[in-house]
Amino acid sequence: MKQLVILSGKGGTGKTSIAAAFAHLLSLDGVPLRAVFADADVDASNLELVLAPRVITREAFRGGLFANIDQDICTGCGLCQEVCRFDAIGDISMPQFQRLADRRYAELGMLKTQLLDKPVVDPIACDGCAACVYQCPEGAISMQDQIVGEWYRSESRYGPLFHAALRPAQENSGKLVTLVKQQARLLAMDGDYDLVLVDGPPGIGCPVIAAASGADLALVVAEPTAAGVHDLQRALETTNHFHIQTLVCINKVDIYPAGTAEIESFCQEQGIQDFGNIPFDLAVTEAMVQGQPVTLYAPSSPSSQALRELWDKLEAFLQNEGVR
Amino acid sequence: MLIAIASGKGGTGKTAVATALAQTLARTGLSVSCLDCDVEAPNAHIFLRPNFLESKPVEMLIPQIDATLCSGCGECARVCQFHAIVVLGGQTLVFPELCHGCGSCTLVCPDGAINEMSRRMGILKGGLSPEGINFGHGLLNVGEPMAVPVITQLKKWRDYKDAEVVILDSPPGASCPVVESIRGANFVILVTEPTPFGLHDLCQAFELTRELDIPAAVIINHDGIGNSDVEGYCREVGLPVLLRIPLERKIGEGLAQGKTLLEIHPEYEVTFRTLYTQIAEKIAQLAVIEGVQ
Are residues A104 and A174 located together in one domain of the fold? no
Give the residue from A242, A285, A297, A303 with the most B CB atoms within 10 Å of its CB, the best one to mutate. A285
Whether B171 and A238 lie within 8 Å, measured CB to CB: no
Over the stretch A73-126, which tens digit does the pLDDT of each residue have?
999 999 999 999 998 998 877 776 776 666 666 665 665 556 667 888 888 889
Are residues A156 and A130 located together in one domain of the fold? no
Residue positions counted in chain B: 293
Q: What is the per-residue pLDDT for B273?
A: 98
Whether A134 and B175 lie within 8 Å, measured CB to CB: no
Pairing of strands B91-94, B85-88: antiparallel
pLDDT category at A324 given cuts 50, 70, 90 is very low
Is the pLDDT confidence value at B2 over 90? yes
Query: Is residue A144 domain-resident?
Result: no
Does B95 lie at the interface with A, CB-CB under 8 angstroms? no
Are residues A209 and A169 located together in one domain of the fold? yes
Minimum distance, in Å, between the CA of residue B148 and any CA atom of chain A:
10
> How many percent of chain A have pLDDT more than 90?
70
Are residues A101 and A245 located together in one domain of the fold? no
pLDDT category at B233 given cuts 50, 70, 90 is very high
Does B141 lie at the interface with A, CB-CB under 8 angstroms? no
Q: Which of A27-31, A37-41, A63-67, B281-285 has the lowest mean pLDDT?
A: A27-31
Give the mean pLDDT of B65-93.
95
> Taking a contact as any Cβ pair under 8 Å apart, which residues of chain B between 219 and 258 contact chain A?
225-227, 252-253, 255-258
Over the stretch A187-229, which tens digit does the pLDDT of each residue have?
999 999 999 999 999 999 999 999 999 999 999 999 999 888 8
Q: CATH number of the domain that A242 lies in?
A: 3.40.50.300
Can you tell me the distance from the alpha carbon of B276 to that of B265, in angstroms, rounded to the nearest whole number? 18
Can you tell me the distance from the alpha carbon of A11 to that of A34, in angstroms, rounded to the nearest whole number? 28
Are residues A125 and A165 located together in one domain of the fold? no
Query: Which amino acid type is present at position A212?
Result: A
Q: What per-residue string of b and e applies to B103-120 under the rule 16 or more CB within 10 Å gives b?
A: bbbbebbeeebbeeeebe
Task: Please give the mean pLDDT across all residues of chain B.
Answer: 95
Is the pLDDT confidence value at B280 over 90? yes
Q: Does residue A209 contact residue A174 with C-beta atoms inside 8 Å?
A: yes
Whether A205 and B140 lie within 8 Å, measured CB to CB: yes
Domain tally, chain A: 2
Give the mean pLDDT of A278-284.
95
Pairing of strands B241-246, B216-223: parallel
* From A86, A168, A285, residue closest to B225, measured CB to CB: A285
| Last residue in a domain, options A87, A109, A139 | A139
Q: Does residue B12 contact residue B192 with C-beta atoms inside 8 Å?
A: yes
Give the mean pLDDT of B212-219.
94
Whether B195 and A285 lie within 8 Å, measured CB to CB: yes
Q: Does residue B133 contact residue B34 with C-beta atoms inside 8 Å?
A: yes
Give the mean pLDDT of B158-174.
96
| Last residue in a domain, options A118, A139, A160 | A139
Are residues A30 and A84 located together in one domain of the fold? no
Over the stretch A51-77, which tens digit does the pLDDT of each residue have?
999 999 999 999 888 999 988 899 999
Q: Does residue A232 contact residue A266 with C-beta atoms inside 8 Å?
A: yes
Are residues A56 and A199 located together in one domain of the fold? yes
| Nearest CA-CA partner of B136 in B110, B103, B168 | B168
Whole-Å CA distances, B290 to A70, A114, B287: 29, 22, 5
Q: What is the per-residue pLDDT for B289?
A: 81
Are residues A262 and A208 located together in one domain of the fold? yes
Are residues A8 and A88 located together in one domain of the fold? no
Whole-Å CA distances, A234 to A281, B36, B140: 26, 16, 10
Over the stretch A123-168, which tens digit does the pLDDT of each residue have?
888 999 999 999 999 999 999 888 889 999 999 999 999 999 998 8
User: Which residues of chain A lie closer than 8 angstroms to B201, CB-CB?
Assistant: 43-44, 46
Give the mean pLDDT of A260-284.
90
Does B118 lie at the interface with A, CB-CB under 8 angstroms? no
Q: What is the per-residue pLDDT for A108?
A: 59
| Nearest CA-CA partner of B105 in B84, B125, B136, B90 | B84
Instruction: Kindly give the interhelix angle for B196-211 and B229-237, rounded to the nearest 10 degrees.
Output: 20
DSSP A254: T
Are residues A109 and A133 located together in one domain of the fold? yes
Is the pLDDT confidence value at B147 over 90? yes
Q: Could you give all domains of chain B from N- to C-terminal order, each with its CATH number?
A: 2-49+130-292 (3.40.50.300), 61-120 (3.30.70.20)
Pairing of strands A89-90, A120-121: antiparallel
Q: Provide φ and ψ at B124, rounded to 5°.
A: -110, 145
Are residues A190 and A251 located together in one domain of the fold? yes
| Last residue in a domain, options A89, A111, A139 | A139
| Nearest CA-CA partner of B14 in B33, B32, B38, B48 | B38
Is the pLDDT confidence value at B200 over 90? yes
> How many percent of chain A have pLDDT more than 70?
92
Query: Is residue A218 domain-resident?
Result: yes
Are residues A227 and A278 located together in one domain of the fold? yes
Whether B43 and A13 lie within 8 Å, measured CB to CB: no
Whether A209 and B208 lie within 8 Å, measured CB to CB: no
Q: Which residues pair with B126 in a beta bridge?
A: B54, B136
Whether A258 and B184 lie within 8 Å, measured CB to CB: no
Domain limits at A205? 2-62+149-321
Task: Please give the mean pLDDT across all residues of chain A.
Answer: 90
Q: Does residue B200 contact residue B207 with C-beta atoms inside 8 Å?
A: no
Can you tell me the distance from the alpha carbon of B48 to that of B21, in angstroms, rounded to the nearest whole number? 11
